[in-house]
Amino acid sequence: MGKRLENIGVENTEEYRRLYRQLLFTADESVASNLSGVILFHETLYQKTDDGTLFADVLKKRGILRGIKVDKGVVPLMNTDGECTTQGLDGLSERCAQYKKDGCDFAKWRCVLKIGPNTPTPLAILENANVLARYASICQMNGLVPIVEPEILPDGDHDLKRSQHVTEKVLAACYKALSDHNVYLEGTLLKPNMCTPGMSCAKRSTPQEIAMATVTALSRTVPPAVPGVTFLSGGQSEEEATQNLNAINQAPIRRPWGLTFSYGRALQASVLAAWKGQPAKVKAGQDELVSRAKANGQAAMGQYTGGLAGGAGQQSLFIANHQY
C-alpha cells in the first residue's frame, strides 16, 4: 500500500490508507457483480467508514466475501541463491480462529519462487509447498477457505517455455504437499501466476500463447476437485492482465476449474491515478474501479472485447523482486 500511495504523491499514513480503502469499498454497488471477495490486511479488517461502519460490514451488506492475509512476509532461505520462504505459521491457528469470529470467510498466504539459471531449487520448491499445505490445513481447521498462492516472480530473461516448465514443477509439488497434509481440495482456491516470459525476455508472447501455456500447466498439475483458480497479475499492465485472462478462458483445451482474477495492482492502478488522494476525485477513482472490475468480469467468461482505456491501462506495473 505504501508504494502505491507514494506513486501518486500521497503520504503513507493510516488515515490516507483508510480513505483509499473507503473509496474502494463504497464504490457503486454494481461492482459486486464482478467482485465476489476482497482480501484484507489486518489493519483494514478493523477500519471504519466516516460514519463508523466497519469496512467488513460494508462488504458483507453488498454480498462480498471477506478474506484476510495471514502470512507475515518472506524471509531468506538459508544457503540458497537468494531464495526465500514465508513466515507466520507460529500462532496461525489462533489468528485464524479470531479472524473467523470477526467475520472473515477465507484467507490468503503468499509464497515466492524465482526463476534463474539454477533456481528454483528442489529445496525451495519443497519448502514452500509444505508451508502452503500447513497453512491450508490450519485454515480449514478453523473454518476458513485457504487461497494457496505459490507465486513465481516474472523477474528475469527466461522465455515462455521455461516459465511453463517451472510452473508445472511448483504446482505439482504444491498439490502433492496438500494431499500429504490431508487438505480438502474442494474447500480451497489456487492463486497462481500466469505463464509469461520474464520481464527482461526479448521475445514477447501473445495472449493466446500465454493462455495455452498457462492452461496446459494447470491441466497437468491441478486436480479438477479444485473449484477455482484466481490468477494474480504479476506486474502485467491492467490491459495485459485482462487480455490474458480473456484468452485463458477462450483456450481450446479442457478447463474443469473456474478461471478468474485476484488482482491487486492490475485492478487498482487506474483507480489510484484518478484519485490522487483528493476528496474531489473520489468518484473518478470509483468509476475506474467499476470499469476495470467489469472488464475483468467479462474476461473471466472469455467475453472481453478490449479497448478499455483507464488512467494506467497500458502502464507496466512490474516491481522487481516484489515483496509485501
Active site residues: 149, 191
Which residues 6+ apart lie within 8 Å of 306 measured at CB? 239, 243
Q: Distance between CA 225 and CA 228 in Å, rounded?
A: 9
For residue 302, give the nearest of 235, 205, 211, 234 by alpha carbon.
211
Which residues 6+ apart lie within 8 Å of 196 measured at CB? 154, 160, 163, 205, 210, 234, 236, 244
What secondary structure does DSSP assign to 95-147, as a single string? HHHHHHHTT--EEEEEEEE--BTTBS-HHHHHHHHHHHHHHHHHHHHTT-EEE
In one-letter notation, the amino acid at residue 294 is K
Which three-class secondary structure state does DSSP give residue 261? strand
Residues in the chain, overall count? 324
Gyration radius (Cα) of the chain, Å: 19
Q: How many helices (H) and strands (E) does the chain have?
A: 11, 9
Given a contact cutoff of 8 angstroms between Cβ atoms, the answer to whether 291 and 30 are in contact is no
For residue 149, give the nearest of 107, 118, 187, 180 by alpha carbon.
107
Given a contact cutoff of 8 angstroms between Cβ atoms, the answer to whether 114 and 153 are in contact is yes
Cell numbers 483509499 correspond to what residue? 20
In one-letter notation, the amino acid at residue 52 is G
CA 256, 110, 114, 180 dihedral sign is negative
Cell numbers 476458513 correspond to what residue? 144
Provide the 8-state DSSP code for 54. Answer: B
